[in-house]
Structure 1
Amino acid sequence: MELLADENVETEWIQALRDDGHDVVRVVDIEDLGVSASDPDVLAVATRKDRVLLTADQSDFSNPPADEHPGIIIIADVTRTGGEVRRAVRRIERSVSDLSDHVAYVSDWL
């Protein structure tokens, strides 16, 4: 799965997903975004680059501002370990063939 990690995503989660073979790019590493990018800009770049957005920002992404997006995975509980995030993403990937326009919560997949 190709993911765009929002700035609030823990390094441990990113590393666990990369170790599992996922292509994870961080918002802060994208020239068009960087630190403190607005939520609509983050979602627009995720959509343009066809990357599922990985975020801990439940308040702004549980009801996405865009009509179409490649999918959003929300880690609402920031105490989750990298292993838990990896396990949930594996389950999502096995069960949902296309995350487009869907919002998935890690807690629902553990």
Structure 2
Amino acid sequence: MSVEKVMSSLCYFSVFFAPFLFPIIVFFVMRDEEVSYHAKRAVLSHLFPFLSFVLALFAVFVMDAGSVIFLGMILFGLLNVIVFIWNIVKGIQVLRW
């Protein structure tokens, strides 16, 4: 197993220990094109839950409709679970190829 594969998969697995920091460091330190590609994708996948959280906070503080806030919270939770599972699957896929 090559170092490039391990670093690429760790970018996705960093959702467990350093969601933004590790892929950004890998992107700037590693010079391999494939590792940079996976690092960018990992950073973007770690940003989606953060952006949905910001939208959920916006809904809580700006909107008064309780059902919209409840729906937003459900979607926020669902998005976080989907992105978390997606990162695990992508990390395993990168290791297997």
Give the TM-score of the pair, scaled to structure 1: 0.25
| Higher RCO by CA contacts (8 Å cutoff, separation 6 or greater) | 2
More helix by share: 2
TM-score normalised over the length of structure 2: 0.27
The structure whose Rg is larger is 2
